[in-house]
Amino acid sequence: MRTIYICKSLISLSLNNSSHLNKTPISLFSLLFFSSSPKSPNAVADYLIERHKFSLETASKVSSSPRSPNLKRPEKIDSILSFLQESGFSDTNVERVIKHAPQLLSANLELSIKPKFKFFQDLGISSSGIVQIVSSDPLILTRSVESHLGPSILALKSVLVSNMDVSRVLKKSGWFFRYDMAKTMIPNIEFLKSCGISSSQITRCVYNTPTFFSNKPTRVRELVKRVDEIGFDRKSKMFLHAILAISWMTKENWELKLEVFKSLGFSEDDILSVFRRHPQVFAQSERKIKETTQLLLSTGKCDISYVVNYPDLLGYSVENRLKPRLRVVEVLESRNLLLNKPSLGTVCRITERKFFEKYVLPYSNEVGELFVFKKASSKA
């Protein structure tokens, strides 16, 4: 930036001037303060770049923030950044935190930032866990322990009970603290329980889909109403899954999915049956629904009624699971190598390891090149 070039020129001149040879060299940072006001955005950006090796993008964003720090006390900035590094944050994480929450450089380290770290430590969260949580949403460090973080944790603990479980959710979803859980999570949980959904299901949902509980209670009630109107049985274990699926779609998206199913030959009763049996299917794109259905029907091993009875088949990856497996079985059957022809459900559902051991390994000469066994997927 311009200030840096001016300072470098001044340094060069001072070194070349023999009258300065016996004097203390002028530091770049001293020149920065002489050439720019401590309140100047350029001074702040230059300091972050030169002193702390921030990228130009981050330094510019911080310096242009309405809450940009004042360079009258640069040691304050140094102490905050040093504390983050000493707490386990890498240089990349430190820059990310400051980029998204530049006001932290103006905060009081002892009274504002450190208490947040102690709060997480008291929950039993490790240093690496704190780094993960804060990096996912740096604004956490700007929120009050007393009025925001504490009540939100109490709300979360009322569902999850243990600190370990709370830590697990926070590390997965640090943005959790953006919402007032006492006004969203608790009312939503109580309402879902009143609909007959078990506590264990709700707890699993908090683990897997915590964003859902940040919805306003009025929206959750509207989602339940829509599922009721479809004719979904509240006693079904799929009732909560149906609510979640609907929450991911606008009414327009829902209509588009209905049209896709109809174009594939599904009747209205078939479509509703699919939704009741496996509502998660409706969270997929129209293209995925169409591609998977057409592939399954093209095998000649099933028809529409089979897909209706086993709609979970529509959830598997076409390229990574269905096509390789179907191709292997097709080759084995064409060569009469299988005594008993497996059902489509068996072919698609068994784990990667079991499929490999039963249909690939014994026939490696015939189908070895058609199937790549992925250890990472062996439990899928």
Q: What is 184-207 written as a DSSP string?
A: THHHHHHHHHHTT--HHHHHHHHH
Rg (C-alpha) for the chain, rounded Å, is 30
Angle 132-134-139 (CA atoms, 0-180°, nearest 5)? 155
pLDDT, position 167: 79
- Does 318 have pLDDT greater than 50? yes
- Does 332 have pLDDT greater than 90? yes
* Among 1-5, 95-99, 224-228, 240-244, the least confident range: 1-5
With 0-12 CB in 10 A as exposed, 13-18 as middle and 19+ as buried, what is 34?
exposed
pLDDT, position 340: 87
Backbone angles phi, psi at 36, to 5 degrees: -135, 145
- Does 18 have pLDDT greater than 60? no
| Residue 41 pLDDT class (50, 70, 90 cuts) | low
- Does 27 have pLDDT greater than 70? no
Give dist(CA 327, CA 35) in Å, integer. Answer: 72
- Does 261 have pLDDT greater than 90? yes
- Does 44 have pLDDT greater than 70? yes
With 0-12 CB in 10 A as exposed, 13-18 as middle and 19+ as buried, what is 242?
buried
Q: Is 76 helix (H, G, I), strand (E, B) or coil?
A: helix
pLDDT, position 161: 73
pLDDT, position 40: 58
pLDDT, position 10: 39
Residue, of 24 and 373, whose pLDDT is higher:
373
* Among 14-18, 118-122, 359-363, 365-369, the least confident range: 14-18
Q: For 343, how many CA atoms within 13 A lie in the half-sphere containing its CB?
A: 10
- Does 206 have pLDDT greater than 90? no
| Residue 341 pLDDT class (50, 70, 90 cuts) | confident
Separate counts of helices (H) and strands (E) for the chain: 22, 0
- Does 12 have pLDDT greater than 60? no
- Does 221 have pLDDT greater than 60? yes
The one-letter amino acid code at 190 reads: E
pLDDT in tens, 105-163: 989 999 999 999 999 998 888 899 899 889 888 988 998 898 888 888 888 887 777 77
Q: Which of 229, 297, 288 is nearest to 266 (CA)?
A: 297
Give dist(CA 80, CA 105) in Å, integer. Answer: 7
Task: Give the torsion through C-alpha atoms of 189, 274, 359, 361, to 10 deg.
Answer: -30
Per-chain mean pLDDT for the chain: 84
Does residue 240 contact residue 201 with C-beta atoms inside 8 Å?
Answer: yes
pLDDT, position 28: 45
Give dist(CA 291, CA 270) in Å, integer. Answer: 18
pLDDT, position 174: 64
| Residue 247 pLDDT class (50, 70, 90 cuts) | very high
8-state DSSP, 238:
T
| Residue 373 pLDDT class (50, 70, 90 cuts) | low
8-state DSSP, 25:
P
Mean per-residue pLDDT, 40-62? 87
| Residue 374 pLDDT class (50, 70, 90 cuts) | low
pLDDT, position 64: 86
Give dist(CA 147, CA 152) in Å, integer. Answer: 9
- pTM of the full predicted structure? 0.67
Mean per-residue pLDDT, 270-276? 94
Does residue 232 contact residue 239 with C-beta atoms inside 8 Å?
Answer: yes
Give dist(CA 373, CA 378) in Å, integer. Answer: 8
Structure tokens at 58: 């981050």
Give dist(CA 196, CA 126) in Å, integer. Answer: 37
Task: Give the torsion through C-alpha atoms of 315, 318, 324, 328, to 10 deg.
Answer: 70
CB neighbours of 260 closer than 8 A, spacing ≥ 6? 286, 289, 290
Q: Which of 269, 314, 264 is nearest to 292 (CA)?
A: 314
- Does 356 have pLDDT greater than 50? yes
Give dist(CA 278, CA 242) in Å, integer. Answer: 8
With 0-12 CB in 10 A as exposed, 13-18 as middle and 19+ as buried, what is 355?
buried
Percent of the chain surpassing pLDDT 90: 54
- Does 246 have pLDDT greater than 70? yes
- Does 168 have pLDDT greater than 50? yes
